Structure 1
Amino acid sequence: MVNILRGKGPLFILPWRCTQACTSNCLHCGFASNSPAPDALGTEETKRIVDEIHDFGATYFGISGGEPLQRKDLPEIIGYAKNTGMNVSVITNGCFLDDKTFDNLVRHEVRVSISVDGPKEINDAIRGKGAYTKAVSAMEKTSKAGLLDCLVATLANVDTTRNNVTSEDMEHIIKLAEEYGARWVVIHGFIPFNRTKEHLAKAPSPEQYEKIWNQVYDLRLKYKGKPEVNVYCPFFARVAKQRGLPDFNDWFNNFFLGKCSIAGKYMSVIENGDVIPCSFNDRIRLGNVQNKPLNQVWDQLQTSELTLKLRDRNNLKGKCGVCEYREICGGCRTRA
């Protein structure tokens, strides 16, 4: 199995969260609608971040948000990143894919991931009215151009009385990926960070997680890698192990995206140049790329007291501490 998690340097992809601004107000997102970070870096400063990420050895320059396509200088930044030789990817809700933006993505062969959380009724209840139609329109457009790479979903209940975290909803997304030629479907668990903590009642229950991850495992078997289904949640590894996934160690080490990354396995750069070890945890800052090279940040991360403590499973407490699957799961430190 090809290792999708490594590149020329320590990381295959090093994401840049370019903005917190977004017109949506999704239940599972940590950023409030239309609230850009006040200290976001400008275009020229951002280009220096691109240079740092390139020098770090990343194969992909990943762009996330908020909603990246709302950033006015994004076309210029994308072009600059491509000129370094890196591939570029962007994750978007599809609501701002106008002709000018689309032409820029095509010109620079940007790999596009589109967020969608289920059928129209469910998706729009989570993301806002009209979001589903715009997302599907973006899928069609990027698919025809050969840019559509991935569909990204996040598990959330629409309200506290309705169980809408179902295999039917997840299969709907997989069928969309199949129809429009996306290679991947990535399903996220509900992670409480920033304003998302206000919506904890919408998070799946432990019973829902147990049921849906087993159903997702079945869907992986059903679709046989076309599209490939991956899960961004550490608990899924335990399900895969219990279900007897063939070549589990190879899958876990080289393919599985859901391992907790905060213990020195990941970095991303946010709007003001700060480096964080987890996309869902802004509380831990490793330094700022404007005054500390990424290679230095990475080296310090590997040996920091916090990293070593988080990496040692003997420090896990409670149920996680005594679980026989703690070495392959380990839980989510942000959730904890």
Structure 2
Amino acid sequence: MDTKKNQRNELQGESAKTPDVKMLAWNISPWCNLTCKHCYLGEIKGYDSLSTHELDRIVDQISSIDVKVVFLAGGEPLLIRNLEYVIRQLAQTGVSVFVNTNGILLTEKRIDSLLRSQVSGVIIGFDGITQESYEMIRGEHTYQQALQGLKTAIKMGMSVESDFTLNCLNRHQLNSVPLWGDELKLKRITVKRYVPRPESKFDSQLRLTPQILKETYHDFLDIFPYPSQRESCKIYAHDPLFIVAKAEKGLLNQEDILREDCNAGGYTRGWIGLSSQGNIQPCPVMTEEVVGNILSEELQDIVKCSKMDIIRDAIPAICQKCHHSSYCRGGCKATKIRMGTSLDKPDPCCWIYHK
């Protein structure tokens, strides 16, 4: 058995273990001050904020499974009036807490409040590195406000990272993202592939085709062959197909798989989503795939339920024949679910299958 096959079997063996959840994305706010074209969360009508008792229960449940990192997102989490209380409670249990925000509400006063609550940092979404491209996705008169929030946070000593949701409207800017991050002194930028929303009127503008995605990733890797190992702003892309692109360029190693692995459906399986209503999902983007509710069930039991494993372990038979299967594992499962594709089929953006 050759070395590559040995490594592939080793990775597939790891995937069969009980999930060791280390990261949790809590979409704590159903409300937002923007209406971004790519957002996967719809409006929740009649929603009421969780009580302090409910928040305390959630914190206790999170600590019960030894989660290491919690991302507080939304919606816009800075609209939650007791956000700092949640951060403080989580931090006291030893959890690192990051706030995913659009940055517009990051005033000096709010940044100071977040720092005093022991937040580990903020992750600010920038889906365009120019005002025109940013506002094409996030709306008019928003770019300068978000940029000011980012710069103020850095100036006040806060750890600042950014997310870049890759789509057809901004893919031409991907090759400029690392240097943009360097200029702003960002520690890290995570590239996230747009997950289709067929119900959205903007979906056709944003959706990437298999060939376009391949060209975008290959062109990027021609310029930045080891983006996560840069000395300045490090670039990560948690997309199984980005790992495939690296392999095709002869750039892949074991460390890259660990860095770029899809933490929900990959072999590490160390990531779950939590909605503002307490619903647990295998991935925060899988809003319809509820496997339990943290307000009425024990999180320790939820993460071990069979439905969680069925979704995460679904590797199409045709994909198992592919030499990328150990790290791709059939691609992004959230994309399949959003597009109404069976989990038994390859990723709709897989350029190997959809030639």
- The TM-score bracket by the shorter chain reads 0.7 to 0.9
Partner of residue 85, structure 2: 76
Q: Match for 1:17: what amino acid?
A: N
Q: Match for 1:327: what amino acid?
A: S
Partner of residue 187, structure 2: 183
Matched, 1:63 2:63: no
Distance in 2 (CA, whole Å) between partners of 1:149 and 1:11 is: 24
Q: Secondary structure at the match of 2:235?
A: strand
Q: How far does the alpha carbon of each residue in 1:73-92 deviate from its partner, in whole angstroms, 9 at most, with x for none? A: 11221222222222210111
The share of aligned pairs that are identical, in percent, is 23
Distance in 1 (CA, whole Å) between partners of 2:275 and 2:190 is: 22
Partner of residue 142, structure 2: 131
Kindly state the Cα deviation for residue 71 of structure 1 after the two structures are TM-superposed.
1.2
Q: How does 1:132-211 map to 2 (within 5 A)?
A: 132-158=143-169, 164-166=170-172, 169-193=173-197, 195-196=199-200, 199-211=203-215
Distance in 1 (CA, whole Å) between partners of 2:41 and 2:105 is: 18
Matched, 1:18 2:25: no
Distance in 1 (CA, whole Å) between partners of 2:308 and 2:78 is: 35
Of 103, 106, 109 in structure 2, the residue corresponding to residue 97 of structure 1 is 106
Partner of residue 239, structure 1: 245
Q: Secondary structure at the match of 1:22?
A: coil
Distance in 1 (CA, whole Å) between partners of 2:79 and 2:222 is: 37
Kindly state the Cα deviation for residue 105 of structure 1 after the two structures are TM-superposed.
1.6
TM-score (norm 1): 0.83
Partner of residue 3, structure 1: none
Structure 1: tracts of 5 or more residues without a match = 1-8, 159-163
Kindly state the Cα deviation for residue 157 of structure 1 after the two structures are TM-superposed.
3.1
Q: How far does the alpha carbon of each residue in 1:266-293 deviate from its partner, in whole angstroms, 9 at most, with x for none? A: 3121111111111111121111112222
TM-score (norm 2): 0.79
Q: How far does the alpha carbon of each residue in 1:61-114 deviate from its partner, in whole angstroms, 9 at most, with x for none? A: 221111111111112212222222222101111011123321112222431111
Partner of residue 274, structure 2: 269
Partner of residue 117, structure 1: 127
Distance in 2 (CA, whole Å) between partners of 1:267 and 1:249 is: 23
What's the Cα RMSD here? 2.6
Contact preservation (8 Å) 2:282, 2:308: no
Partner of residue 86, structure 1: 95
Structure 2: tracts of 5 or more residues without a match = 1-18, 337-355
Of 242, 246, 254 in structure 2, the residue corresponding to residue 249 of structure 1 is 254
Contact preservation (8 Å) 1:59, 1:87: yes
Q: Match for 2:32: what amino acid?
A: C
Distance in 2 (CA, whole Å) between partners of 1:195 and 1:307 is: 27
Partner of residue 307, structure 1: 309
Q: Match for 1:307: what amino acid?
A: D
Distance in 2 (CA, whole Å) between partners of 1:45 and 1:310 is: 28
Could you list the structure 1 runs, at least 4 aligned residues long, displaced by more than 4 angstroms after superposition: 34-37, 193-198, 262-265
Matched, 1:51 2:60: yes
